[in-house]
Amino acid sequence: MMRKREFLKKAGLLSASALAAPFLGHGSKATNVKSLVTEKTESGVPMKLVIGSDHAGFPLKVPLVKLLQSWNYSVKDVGSFNPEPVDFPDIAVLLADEIISGRAELGIMVCGTGVGAAIACNKIQGIRAALCHDTYSAHQCVEHDNVNVLCLGAQIIGQSVAQEILNNFLNAKFSTEEQFRRRVNKLDQFDLVPPRK
């Protein structure tokens, strides 16, 4: 049976940087993403982030928390706190509550593929989540769609790619252009529409 990474590579679903990520050590010549990140502070107070994962996302979430803290973000981890099985919708609710309450500005949710995390988060009123495994989507989802939760798949991308995606997501700003504001306003109206029977 073909191993998952070999299958993804053959199918063209795994980038060269993702393939290399598990092999990048301390002596790597990979881009130092930290040096590209703009420090997000307002009056000297770090931007507040919330991060969560299920058991499948836990191995990627742990180094990402340390990375974000090294970038001078205030990070609240809502779980999971170990690799024991947990249901991602439960973590998504905790993460969303931090954003909706105003205790966090943006969220990062990590599961196996990122798909379940995105579905769960998008079911919650006031949350706009995007699954991003490339740097372009990571900044455009904020610039055009005012996304407030980034979803990542720990089984799809490696830590180096995740760092670049986070860099693009956290440094993006929602466009002031009327067309994007109008479209996001229409998305917000969906929260007020009762479900069809």
- Active-site residue list: 111, 144
Location of structure tokens 């996302």: 57
To which residue do tokens 């490696």 refer? 158
Residue 165 corresponds to which tokens in the numbers above?
């995606």
Residue 105, Cα to own-chain centre: how many angstroms? 13
Distance between CA 113 and CA 150 in Å, rounded? Answer: 13
CA distance 61 to 129: 17
- Whether the CA torsion 158, 72, 111, 183 is positive or negative: it is negative
- For CA atoms 55, 57, 59, 65, give the dihedral sign: negative
